Chain A
Amino acid sequence: MHSDWSQAKVQFGTLYRVFLLRVVDLEVLSAGGDPTRLIRQFVTIFTTVSFLLILPALVFLVFGGGMPMEAKWMYEHFLIETAMTVAGLVALLNWDAAFPDKRDILILGPLPVRTSTLFLAKVAALLVAPGLAAIALNIFVGVLWPLFFRSSSASFLGALRAWPAYWITFLLASAFSVFTILALQGLAANLLPRQFFLRVSGFLQAAVMSLLVSVYFLEPMLESPAALTSPQNQRLLEFLPSYWFLAVFNQLNGSAHPALAPLAKRGWISIAVAAFAATAALLLSYSRIMRRLVEEPDILPRAHSISWSPQWGNPLTQAITFFSLRTLLRSRQHRMMLGFYLGLGVSCAVGYANAYLGGFRSAGTTMSVSFLLVTIVTTILTVFSLRVVASLPISLSANWVIRITQIRPARDYQKAVRISWLALGLAPPLLLMAAILVAAYPWAPALGHFLVMLCLGILLVELCLYTFPKIPFTCSYLPGKAQIDFVFWACLMLIFRLLNEGAEIESRMLRHVLNCTGLILIAAIAAGAMRWLSESRASSTEDLLFEEEYSSEVTSLKLN
């Protein structure tokens, strides 16, 4: 009995480590890349966000003064909602690792490993990543903010309740997000036919991600007793879990307002239901799917699909464009990352426009600054996201075929990449924008804005190509080398401010034909200049890059 237990313990530890590492796709890493460095990067991001989130609390601490109840509720709600969203997003990254796959069955099936050990190791590994993310996010927040959340009528000891209340609530709220996602996935896996589930699973994951991001940015602000008790908001509140956990926190903190009681009850019930549903779905999946996976044929005949292959130019451009398009459509990892950047950015822009620019109403023939801002952000983000996603490889070991078929100079590949990026990164937002412009605005400013966006898009594509002597999705990834995405997110609010200024200038210039023409000319010249720069650089590039390496660092000892 004892030896059985020890064996199960060792097996659990081994499997747990294996499953945990699957969160990071090690195959994308460059030879010099270190997985722990990648994980550290993520933890650092969350910890930095945690530090930024305590800045308002520091202001309150320095300048003193009590915080009104509405403000307290607003901050409490914001922090709970942030923790839920982050835990949910990290759980979504684990989507593929949640259930056993054929590889698990083929490798572990012949070994004397109990299904229960496999199941527990998988569950433990699944919970650790969102748990770590949530803890990193609250590392500063969870120490300082509860100081302001304590009940005003509480004694000193009573006031101490705020800390455990906060940590319990954010853990429960994060767990609710994770359990709900697992339950949803498990439900779909068990109810839908296996092949259909595999086909729709990626879309389901993307839909949940979009829902999480849009709820986070577009959720109405109801953090006042009046809003929470208003009969017209009751139906809405039934669908907004972050408010349930706001109520749970206040209940645990001893500062519950009567308006929050029904929501707190809903919160407790929902976490219990989500935990039960997730456990049941996982158990059911392990008992049913594992058997089905073994019996599944290795290859299923597939009806010949209609092949539509538009001509993008020469065969090289065709090859690179279709390779990029298929990778984006079929690789869940790439699709998720593209969706994440795009969804987050556009939601931020819409939220910013709603909060600071008074929405999307336009006055007569004048285009609203909000619309201009959102279209500028969308254009920038689509190109930028494609650049970020394209730097993650799909399969390094398969790159040999591109190397041995390289029968043209590197600059020809860059030309092909340019066309593929214009087609995949710039054409879709421009087409969407053109449809809205034609439907909603007079032709002159609409055409003006469209041309400005076209030049901006070309400029950005050229800017991205300037430092990209690669074929998209084929070069290894080196954590920490490209800091541009982190800098971008860190400066997001500042960038919005600048883009807002830009949108206002454009709005003014679009009103006069001469100014509008001038603006288009300036944008076209900038795009042309950037193209000249990137082409000059490409013509001096000899080889395509397939392996990222840290740049050598030379340290001068200054001895002379």
Chain B
Amino acid sequence: MLEVRNLHKRYSGIPAVDAVSFVARAGEVTGYLGANGSGKSTTMKMATGLIEPNAGEILFEGRRIKENLMAYRQRMGYVPEEPHLYTHLSGLEYLVMVAQLRNMDRTSANMRIHGLLRLFGIHGDRDVALSSYSKGMRQKILLSAALMHNPDVVLLDEPFSGLDVGSALILRSLIKELAARGKIVLFSSHELETVERVCSHVVILHRGKVVADDSIERLRVLMAAPTLEEIFSQLAVEQDSEAVSREIADLIRA
């Protein structure tokens, strides 16, 4: 179980994450939703240990991750929002480097890396520099790097970004499969339809605060809304989308 307790993060005094608490359980996919700038990626980075919260704590299996960050990192896989990679390396070189940094056994690492590259359909381009890769291909490298050590906690920040339809369908099934195998999956996305299909439980963030934390079924009943999109619109969208679109069209004509 990954538990986030009363997490706070401020940048220059402005709260990015404000008293966020939720629990992501093993065996289920926890959807983490929110508009741009709502604090999703900041929470994700705090859950990886990349940034320190100003207050609050994150617990993994009942222990603070800070107590033994290195052991936690060993069991955690992370796909960041932006595909920042060392682009002077090839896809294969990058994955081998990550496996070595994770102290993986050489034979097992090679088997997994080549297998993942084949299954993601980029084995033929494994020796090409990452600078030449498309966004979708980079995303596949990030997914391979996050999963190859068989982590217990999988943190996915916009993992569908740039993926083609086929790969997106594979990833959607993979996320469910990982949860079915007992892993903790925390999954942040803007694609509400995918979240609705994949997640059993969602946390909705608005301006850094949790405004909903429940199963999708219960939220539907509570909010009297048939879809996650409507639930999300009621909780986290302040603007009237149609009015804004009309204003934009008017503005560019002026």
Take A315-B100, A404-B73 as given contacts and tell me if A397 and B134 are in contact as well, using a CB distance cutoff of 8 Å: no
Interface stretch among B123-131, B180-188, B228-236?
Answer: B123-131
**Interface residues as binary, B49-84 with A (CB distance below 8 Å gives 1, 0 otherwise):** 110000000000000000000110110101010101
Interface residues of A in 402-419 (CB under 8 A from B): 402-409
1/0 contact trace for A311-351 toward B, CB 8 Å?
A: 00011101100110011001100000000000000000000
A301 vs B127: C-alpha distance when bound (angstroms): 9
Identify which of residues 85-138 in chain B touch chain A, using a CB-to-CB cut-off of 8 Å.
85-89, 93, 96-104, 106, 124-129, 132-134, 137
- Interface residues in A397-438 by Cβ distance below 8 A to B read 397-398, 400-409
Verify A315–B104 contact, CB threshold 8 A.
Answer: yes
- Chain B CB within 8 A of A395 CB: yes
Q: Does B139 contact A (CB under 8 A)?
A: no
- List, in ascending order, chain B residues with CB within 8 A of A303's CB: 127
A403 to B127 alpha-carbon distance, docked (Å): 25
Of all chain B residues, the one with the shortest Cβ separation from A401 is B98
Taking CB atoms, residues of chain B closer than 8 Å to A315 are 99-101, 103-104, 106
Q: Which residue of B lies closest to A473 (CB)?
A: B86
CB contact between A318 and one of B76, B84, B100, B134 (< 8 Å): that residue: B100
- Asked if residues A405 and B102 are in contact (CB atoms below 8 Å), the reply is yes
Contacts of B102 in A (CB 8 A): 405, 407
Return A402 CB to nearest CB of chain B, in Å: 7
A405–B80 touching, CB < 8 Å: no
Question: With A322-B93, A326-B88 given, is the CB distance from A299 to B133 under 8 Å?
Answer: yes
Are the CB atoms of A400 and B73 closer together than 8 Å? no
When the two chains form their complex, are residues A405 and B98 in contact, meaning their CB atoms are under 8 A apart?
yes
Q: Is the CB of B50 within 8 A of A403?
A: yes
Interface size range on A against B: 20 to 34
Residue of B nearest to A315 (CB): B100
A318 CB, min distance to chain B CBs, angstroms: 5
With known contacts A302-B127, A304-B127, A305-B127, A316–B101 Cβ distance under 8 A = yes
CB A160 to nearest CB in B, in angstroms, measures 54
A406-B70 in contact (CB<8A): yes
Indicate whether B145 reaches chain A with its CB closer than 8 angstroms. Answer: yes
Among A298, A299, A314, A405, which residue has the most Cβ atoms of chain B within 10 A? A405
B residues near A314, Cβ cutoff 8 Å: 103
B89 with A326: CB separation less than 8 A: yes
In-complex Cβ contact of B70 among A327, A402, A407 (8 A): A407
Residues of A within 8 A of B104 (CB): 315
Cross-chain contact A395 with B86 (CB below 8 angstroms): yes
Knowing A318-B100, A400-B80, A408-B70, say if A327 contacts B134 (CB, 8 Å): no
Tell me the complex Cα distance, A466–B80, Å: 33
**Given A315-B100, A331-B88, A397-B84, also A300-B70 (CB < 8 A):** no
Contact A323 B73 (CB under 8 A): no
Task: List CB contacts (< 8 Å) of B140-184 with chain A.
Answer: 145
In the bound complex, do residue B84 and residue A319 qualify as a contact, i.e. CB atoms below 8 Å apart?
no
Q: Assess whether B189 is interfacial by the CB under 8 Å rule.
A: no
Chain A neighbourhood of B85, CB < 8 A: 395, 398, 401
Q: Are A408 and B88 in contact (CB under 8 A)?
A: no
- A315 and B78 alpha carbons, distance in the complex (Å): 21
Does B48 lie at the interface of the complex (its beta carbon under 8 Å from any beta carbon of A)?
Answer: yes
A323-B89, A404-B50 given. 19 additional CB < 8 A pairs?
A298-B134, A301-B124, A302-B128, A314-B103, A315-B104, A316-B103, A318-B100, A323-B97, A326-B88, A394-B86, A400-B80, A400-B84, A401-B86, A403-B49, A404-B49, A407-B70, A407-B101, A408-B103, A409-B70
14 contacts between A and B (CB under 8 A): A301-B124, A302-B127, A315-B100, A319-B97, A319-B101, A323-B97, A400-B50, A402-B101, A403-B50, A404-B78, A406-B70, A406-B73, A407-B74, A407-B102
B interface, CB within 8 angstroms of A? 48-50, 70-71, 73-74, 76, 78, 80, 82, 84-89, 93, 96-104, 106, 124-129, 132-134, 137, 145
